[in-house]
Structure 1
Amino acid sequence: MAKVSANLIKQTALKLLANEPSLASLSLRTIATALKIDVSTIYWYFENKQALLQAMADYIADEITFPDLSLSWQEQLTQLYTNTFNVYSQYSHAAELMISTIPSTKTRLQLIDHSIGILVTAGFDEDQSNTAISSIDFLLTGLVIDLTTENQFRTKITTNGDDYLAKQVKQIHSIAEKEDLIHMQTSIKKRSERTPKKQFEEGMRLIIRGLSASNRG
């Protein structure tokens, strides 16, 4: 077995999250068992579970690459957040991990600063830039968390045979048709046709289109 280190503990915890319904259910004891060490060893590297979660979030953020500065601000934003979406998609509960921790490290603060800086450099003021980046973050984290929850429901229905949840899904379709909720029907159809990444890209285009119009004004 590899020598225990802070990095190994973080990597193991991130892998174990794939089998957990949420961050709350991941315990230090589970991590220690997987590493075949005493839980006290983890405390040698991390003060508590929150400290480990902070380090895990930083580990993920460190994989997000900055965009090519020669691109337009629209392309830079798209590239940066597409990179972020791709990284989040590689780790279970990544979005939940990010919003459950404080961005208090150099890596995460530089990422936020760079994101805002793209818009400030393009001519937006600080307030507009902060609001826009927050909106994109809400879109990204909300979509990824929604995807995680949806996958959990799907597993319960298809793998565990949860009849109650299956009935709830059928009820959505039934009510939408019976009540002639045409917009809801379209939404259901579009949701089934588009991948989560496609949904995110379309949301990004809408935000950037609005920013472009505002910048021209």
Structure 2
Amino acid sequence: MATQKSPKLDKRLVTETALKLLNEVGLDGLTLRAIAKELNVQAPALYWHFKNKQALLDEMATEMYRRMVAGVHLPPGATWQERLLVGSRGLRTALLGYRDGAKVFSGSRFTGTEHAVEMEVVLHALVEAGFTLPQAVRATTTAYMYTLGFITEEQGVQPLPGERREGYDVEERAARMREFPLAAAAGEEIFEGFEEGFEEGLRLVVAGIEARYGIS
């Protein structure tokens, strides 16, 4: 009886397998040993492609970015506001597709320089609109950090769309905090309606950038 051969092991296959496994076990459960088992190889084989887990996370974040950019489409002649809005929405959509997606993405170092292409385009658009380069950097990084922080908190409640962690029942929280009526009522705004909450917060960020730098 012929033995089944494992597919040829390369960096892309390891990364794709890791992203798939991430949705099943989360970041804490994602180990090189678990990935090797999924690929039907010995763990040391992975070290030919990634020297440690962080190197793998860097490549995973880079692949997330590639997929995000491929799915983001800007209208011709987009304003700087539209660029920040569309880019931030695209990042959220992309990262919500992975359990702990924001945690993987946060603090990871992109491999290569692919991300510089889009970064150059966005910064150029803001400078053309009247921002200085430091202002353009601050505007884009502020929108990015808001988005990443929001997703991190959102995934703390809903690891994946349709899932909800135990302990985030809004009615139970309200009953427990009934002596603090405003704080109790705030739970519905904080732990429900993430889509609307993200959009409103993003609009606040863009409006704040407009007001701060006087560029509309």
Q: TM-score, normalised by structure 2?
A: 0.81
**One-letter amino acid of the counterpart of residue 148, structure 1:** Q
**Number of the residue aligned with 1:139:** 146
Among the aligned pairs, what percent are the same residue? 24
Deviations 1:55-87 (A, max 9, x none): 111111112226345122211221122111111
The alignment status of 1:116 with 2:123, answered yes or no, reads yes
Q: Which residue of 2 aligns with 1:197?
A: 195
**Does residue 150 of the first structure (1) align with residue 148 of the second (2)?**
no
Q: Name the aligned partner's letter for residue 187 of structure 1.
A: A
After superposition, the Cα gap between the structure-2 partners of 1:4 and 1:127, relative to the gap in structure 1 and judged at 3 Å, is same
Residue of 192, 208, 211 corresponding to 1:210 = 208
Q: CA RMSD in A?
A: 2.7
Runs of 5+ consecutive residues of structure 1 not aligned to the other structure: 158-164
Residue deviations 1:172-193 (CA, integer Å, cap 9, x gap):
423543133x2x2442222455
Provide the secondary structure at the position in 2 that maps to 1:17: helix
Picking from 14, 29, 39, the partner of 1:35 is 39
- Show the counterpart of 1:61: 65
The aligned residue for residue 15 of structure 1 is 20
Q: Unaligned stretches of 5+ in structure 2?
A: 1-5
In 1, the alpha carbon distance for the partners of 2:171 and 2:53 equals: 36
User: Whole-Å Cα distance in 1 between the matches of residues 188 and 169 of structure 2?
Assistant: 18
Q: Does 1:126 align with 2:125?
A: no
Query: Helix, strand or coil for the counterpart of 1:20?
Result: helix
Alignment of 1:58-97 (within 5 A): 58-65=62-69, 67-97=74-104
User: For residues 19-47 of structure 1, what are the alpha-carbon distances to aligned partners after superposition, in whole Å with 9 as ceiling and x for unaligned?
Assistant: 3343x431101000001011122112222
Give secondary structure in 2 for the equivalent of 1:178: coil
Q: Structure 1: which amino acid aligns with 2:132?
A: D
Structure 1 match to 2:9: 4
The amino acid across from 1:28 in the alignment is: L
**TM-score normalized by the length of structure 1:** 0.80
Contact 1:73–1:119 (CA<8 Å) still a contact in 2?
Answer: yes
Deviations 1:102-158 (A, max 9, x none): 235312333444443332222111222222222212211111111221135x7553x
Note if contact 1:78-1:204 (Cα within 8 Å) is conserved in structure 2.
yes
Choose 31-40 or 123-132, whichever is displaced more: 123-132
Provide the rounded CA distance (Å) in 2 between the counterparts of 1:169 and 1:144.
Answer: 23
